[in-house]
Amino acid sequence: MNFVKRYLIPRLISYFLVIWLGITVVFFIPRLTPNDPVIRMIDQMRARGSTLEPGAMDGIIEDLTRMYGLEGSWLEQYGDMWGRLVRGDFGVSFFQFPTPVGQIISTALPWTLGLLLSTTAITWTFGNIIGGIAGYYTRKRWSRALDAVAMLIRPLPYYIFAFSLLLIFAWAVRWFPITGGSSLGALPSFTWDYIKDVLWHSFLPAVSLVVLGGVVVFQTMKLLVQNINAESYVQYAKLGGVTEDRIVGKYIIRNAMLPQITGLALSFGQIFSGALITEIVFGYPGIGMLLYRAVLNGDYNLIMGITILSIVGITTAILIVDLTYPLLDPRIRYV
């Protein structure tokens, strides 16, 4: 009972409170911007050469407002939004009307999941292994060389690094495609030809994420291991004749992995928001690119659908880590 009262219930309350607050903020922020989807649609109609009389324009604006679900005050729209969310309905996209937002997201989400799940797992695994070994053997020449390379790569702005890969390997030597998630006209199927085509298109985006993300994980793990290795209990264990394998596995790596596990959970939670810059630079058809286009077009419903997935994903990941942390660290107790 102590676990339920003093640990589980407060965290569940915080979990639902954060989700409610995040969704509320996301609802109101787009409506505070000057980008009105109805006016934008009218401007697009005019740009295509449509002639609208003043009386007809008022009628079209009224019809578009009703069609997009923007009738009434913000509070009325806010109540309608929660009514739809309870039913699992994100509404329809303003600029791909009448396609439901859920259908649009379900089309883009597999691309982002495939890219980010694989790169996050690779980055976290190899970054921690190499960083842990380099942190323990910090005086070795190869450890210092890796640290120097990491110090050189980490300050690079991501978009510059990504554009460099694109210019060298896609434009100059033409080993990889410049944009897209698959070849034009390729039909999705579970065949080796299609899978190979998808891997070919995703290679450069994956490399950009793995290299820069791996450098961060490597440096973090290296510093954690160095600090723990200098602790008095580790030095005492060495003087007491404890084997090096036991010191590294039980005392150093185990303690250094705790903050890294938290970082991994947060990384998996952020997958639902997509790798925005990555997908824009490489023209990758995932959630990040979808969110970018939704912001440009003022597509309130699509922005909310993507952001809600991100909020729920991150808060759920934090909740899971919070509830399982005592199993990983015996120093933490439920009561």
DSSP string over 123-144: HHHHHHHHHHHHHHTTTSHHHH
- Is 283 in contact with 168 (CB distance < 8 Å)? no
Residue 317 to residue 262: CA distance in whole angstroms: 9
Domain boundary assignment for the chain: 11-86, 109-328
Structure tokens at 120: 């996050």
CA distance to 19, 158, 210, 262, per residue, from 153 (Å):
36, 10, 12, 24
Statement: residue 243 has pLDDT above 70: yes
Q: Which CATH number fits domain 109-328: 2.60.34.10, 3.40.50.720, 3.40.50.2300, 1.10.3720.10?
A: 1.10.3720.10
Residue 59 has pLDDT above 80, yes or no: no
254-311 pLDDT, tens digit per residue, is 777 777 877 777 777 667 666 778 888 888 888 888 888 887 777 777 888 888 888 8
More confident site: 279 or 67 = 279
Length of the chain: 335
